[in-house]
């Protein structure tokens, strides 16, 4: 589970919120599959709407331009982002994301390895609405500033608690990683982040950094599936 700071800045968040307010929304249960539909109570922006598609494409570009997302997820394919909204009493009970997802209006499918939530509402705008992820260390509750995101294994059991005041707006997407194994992907992320910190500290010999880069990229070559 990795928190990504400022995938969107304040101005971008404001623009998203203003445009989403003008878009058509529908019952979120219509997009849920299997057992998830029985525990899903929210609304989702109409993915067929041209404005919604434009916002999704803009967010896709931001995801691709955010180095920490790429480092954490090593994305090979990304599902078009969806926008959801939780008003008072709405929630999404415990569920696991579908393992295989078909990209709308195509014959292409992706394996969901990594899930991503981008928060579009500030924490003080609503009560409840925490993203709760079950991990080997127990339940982790996530409620981040607008524009921040969290990525986590799609295999995780997770839920969104009931909103008791205000409204929670967010974007969600799923990624097929070039590295399917969660623990290996985590190790590669930790190695990459350590290399980046050494580069920024500007105290490590260039030859040593080259050696670390060599190790990292050779591991990528060995374990990626593209």
Q: Which residues are part of a known binding site for Fe cation?
A: 95, 97, 158
Three-class SS of residue 50? helix
Which parts are annotated binding residues? 95, 97, 158, 168
Three-class SS of residue 4? strand
**Beta bridge mates, 174:** 115
Which parts are annotated binding residues for 2-oxoglutarate? 168
C-alpha span between 96 and 210 (Å, rounded): 40
CA distances from 174 to 79, 112, 151 (A): 5, 6, 9
C-alpha span between 211 and 173 (Å, rounded): 35
CA distances from 53 to 23, 46, 113 (A): 11, 9, 23
């Amino acid at each position: 589970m990795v928190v990504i700071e400022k995938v969107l800045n304040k101005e971008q968040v404001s623009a998203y919120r203003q445009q989403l307010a003008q878009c058509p929304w529908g019952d979120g249960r219509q997009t849920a599959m299997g057992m998830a539909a029985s525990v899903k109570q929210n609304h989702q922006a109409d993915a067929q709407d041209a404005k919604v598609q434009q916002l999704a494409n803009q967010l896709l570009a931001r995801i691709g331009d955010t180095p920490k997302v790429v480092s954490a997820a090593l994305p090979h394919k990304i599902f078009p982002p969806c926008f959801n909204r939780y008003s008072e009493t709405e929630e999404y009970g415990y569920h696991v994301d579908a393992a295989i997802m078909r990209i709308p209006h195509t014959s292409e499918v992706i394996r969901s390895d990594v899930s991503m939530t981008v928060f579009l509402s500030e924490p003080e705008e609503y009560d409840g609405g925490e993203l709760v992820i079950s991990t080997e260390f127990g339940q982790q509750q996530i409620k981040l500033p607008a524009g921040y995101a969290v990525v986590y294994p799609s295999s995780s059991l997770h839920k969104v608690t009931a909103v008791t005041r205000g409204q929670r707006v967010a974007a969600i997407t799923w990624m097929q990683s070039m590295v399917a194994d969660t623990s290996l992907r985590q190790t590669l992320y930790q190695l990459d982040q350590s290399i980046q910190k050494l580069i920024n500290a500007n105290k490590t010999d260039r030859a040593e950094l080259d050696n670390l880069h060599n190790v990292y990229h050779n591991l990528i070559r060995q374990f990626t599936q593209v």
